Amino acid sequence: MRPLTVAIIGRPNVGKSTLFNRLAGRRLAIVHDRPGVTRDRRFADGRLGDMPLRIVDTAGLEEAPADALETRMRQQTERALAEADVALMLIDARVGVTPMDAHFAQVLRESPTAVVLVANKCEGGAGEAGLYESFGLGLGDPVPLSAEHGEGLAALFEALLPHEAALHARLDVEREAGGHGPGGGADDADIAPGDLEARAAAGADDDAEAEPVDPGRPLNLAIVGRPNTGKSTLVNRLIGDDRLLTGPEAGVTRDAISVDWVHDGRPIRLVDTAGLRRKGRIHESLEKLSVADTLNAIRLAEVVVLMMDADMVMDRQDLTIARLVVDEGRALVLAVNKWDAAEDRQGTLKRLRDRLETSLAQVRGVPYVTVSALQGRNLDRLMNTVLATHAVWNQRISTGRLNRWLAGMTGEHPPPMGQHGRRIRLRYMTQAKARPPTFAVFCSRPEDLPESYSRYLVNGLRDAFGFEGVPVRLLLRKSE
């Protein structure tokens, strides 16, 4: 799949080069595709989150003939726009909207290229007035950003998502048209044996979206839970010694320490054990759960193990933590500890399943493992569950498969009538990102689509693609 091509547009000094460098990172690549003819045109491969980008550089004003600055800028801008799927129109929010910004906005409004308005230099709230002023440019809602400090990149990512999905839709259509002629079927099985080009393109699509877990990179794991459930005992068991509370790291970093070890050939990094360590040093109240500590650990982690005491499984505090994990989009694994001493094992499991169903219904199928940290029982199974859940959380589904699945789902249960008696149409779907799995659905009237229908889709995704037990997000996007 070719990446989304963006052009960074704006008057001098608003931060275009700074944003260019931030998106291009160190992978800046200068491509002269036709030397001599397009010497001043530069592309860089970049990335925002896990979205690959192709960035058209609008620099090179120096090399242009010495016309009036404005003419040169217009030429430069028009050329960049012609190459791009989306224009990122930058303003300096600290300065506010200038006449030259308004001039650029005018050019962009007349261009067929989609635009995302970006209010740069917004760090520390200094750009607030300029941010509000820029609504008046008629280019949609501005994204507040600080290119220099790297703030607001998540919002920029969100703003680019629908454009990426639209590009994928366009490429899918082009591919189908090229492979089958008008009205050709979308199914892989329809591809004639001789139609190698279509097949190669379909294969490339799946390859590009498959993102295997890199076995060399450590998996970030957090172990959280109420005091006294056995977290320190578990950690000490897992890493096989007691350096967690006494090791050299403990004194070095005050607020976050991490411990690395290898399980079954996979490096694991236990993040933010500060909460555990603190307990060892000072005798803070054992009853008190520090939500701030817990949240900190969750945010640093990919997979979170929630330790519970078998005799009081899934109490109110356990549920609070479980919800934090899900809300933060992390993968959750439940450990029911002290299984060796559990009074009523059957009753415990029944209670656990009931609570999961009634109080944590938004993540169906959360895995749980009964363990004894003290005796070291079932810890292999716990860690294997952590690895498996991590793989699911990382999983990517190709756009082709998703849309075939969507067609089946809407065929079986069509979306309801919206207002004015017109059926809501779900046109297209793509996985916007993994970690957690996030899907964008393009819909004729997203505001009318009932919550129950979104749930139907999310539960269907879990069943069809094995997203059991991890948070699955659905973004509804407007499409005509």
Residues of the shown chain interacting with ligand GDP in the complex, contacts defined by CB under 6 A: 10, 12-18, 120-121, 123, 146-149, 225, 227-233, 276, 337-338, 340-341, 372-374
Look at strands 303-309 and 426-433 and give their pairing.
unpaired
For the CB of residue 307, give the shortest distance to ligand GDP in the complex, in Å: 6
For the CB of residue 221, give the shortest distance to ligand GDP in the complex, in Å: 15
Using CA atoms, how far apart are residues 2 and 229, in angstroms rounded to an integer? 49
Q: Tell me whether residue 34 or residue 283 sits nearer to ligand GDP (CB atom).
A: 283
Residue 265 annotated as binding? no
Degrees to nearest 5, angle at CA 322 with 356 and 367: 55
Residue 231 annotated as binding? yes
Tell me how far apart the terminal alpha carbons of the chain are, to the nearest angstrom.
24
User: Which alpha helices (H) appear in 360-445, and where do they start and end?
Assistant: 379-394, 399-412
Q: Tell me whether residue 185 or residue 347 sits nearer to ligand GDP (CB atom).
A: 347
Using CA atoms, how far apart are residues 291 and 396, in angstroms rounded to an integer? 32
Residue 122 annotated as binding? yes
Residue 416 annotated as binding? no
Q: Tell me whether residue 15 or residue 437 sits nearer to ligand GDP (CB atom).
A: 15
For the CB of residue 138, give the shortest distance to ligand GDP in the complex, in Å: 21
The residues pairing with 370 across neighbouring beta strands, listed in sequence order, are 336
Residue 285 annotated as binding? no
Q: Tell me whether residue 120 or residue 348 sits nearer to ligand GDP (CB atom).
A: 120
What's the DSSP call for residue 415? P
For the CB of residue 104, give the shortest distance to ligand GDP in the complex, in Å: 11
Q: Tell me whether residue 1 or residue 306 sits nearer to ligand GDP (CB atom).
A: 306
What residues have CB less than 8 Å from 155, skipping those under 6 apart?
143, 144, 145
The DSSP line for 157-218 is HHHHHHHHHHHHHHHHHHHHHHHH-TT----GGGS-TT-HHHHHHHHHHHHHH-----TTSP
Q: Tell me whether residue 371 or residue 476 sits nearer to ligand GDP (CB atom).
A: 371
Residue 3 annotated as binding? no
For the CB of residue 10, give the shortest distance to ligand GDP in the complex, in Å: 6
The residues pairing with 442 across neighbouring beta strands, listed in sequence order, are 428, 477
Residue 338 annotated as binding? yes
Q: Tell me whether residue 228 or residue 320 sits nearer to ligand GDP (CB atom).
A: 228
Using CA atoms, how far apart are residues 91 and 137, in angstroms rounded to an integer? 10
What's the DSSP call for residue 330? -
Residue 215 annotated as binding? no
Q: Report phi then psi at 184, rounded to 5.
A: -65, 150
Q: How many residues does the chain have?
A: 480
Residue 272 annotated as binding? yes
Q: Tell me whether residue 102 or residue 391 sits nearer to ligand GDP (CB atom).
A: 102
For the CB of residue 40, give the shortest distance to ligand GDP in the complex, in Å: 15
Q: Tell me whether residue 191 or residue 276 sits nearer to ligand GDP (CB atom).
A: 276
For the CB of residue 280, give the shortest distance to ligand GDP in the complex, in Å: 9
For residue 464, give Cα distances in angstroms to 93, 209, 353: 46, 18, 22
Kindly give the interhelix angle for 231-239 and 274-281, rounded to the nearest 10 degrees. Answer: 110
Residue 152 annotated as binding? no
For the CB of residue 146, give the shortest distance to ligand GDP in the complex, in Å: 4
Residue 21 annotated as binding? no
For the CB of residue 320, give the shortest distance to ligand GDP in the complex, in Å: 16
Using CA atoms, how far apart are residues 244 and 250, in angstroms rounded to an integer? 7
Q: 15 in the Ramachandran plot: left (φ > 0), alpha (ψ -120 to 50) or beta?
A: left
Which two tokens mark 68?
């009036």
Q: Tell me whether residue 10 or residue 437 sits nearer to ligand GDP (CB atom).
A: 10
Q: 435 in the Ramachandran plot: left (φ > 0), alpha (ψ -120 to 50) or beta?
A: left
Please give the single-letter amino acid code of residue 376. G
Q: Report phi then psi at 400, rounded to 5.
A: -60, -50
Residue 14 annotated as binding? yes
For the CB of residue 243, give the shortest distance to ligand GDP in the complex, in Å: 15
**Do 327 and 298 touch, CB atoms closer than 8 A?**
no
Residue 288 annotated as binding? no
Residues that constitute the known binding site for GTP: 10-17, 57-61, 120-123, 225-232, 272-276, 337-340
Residues that constitute the known binding site: 10-17, 57-61, 120-123, 225-232, 272-276, 337-340
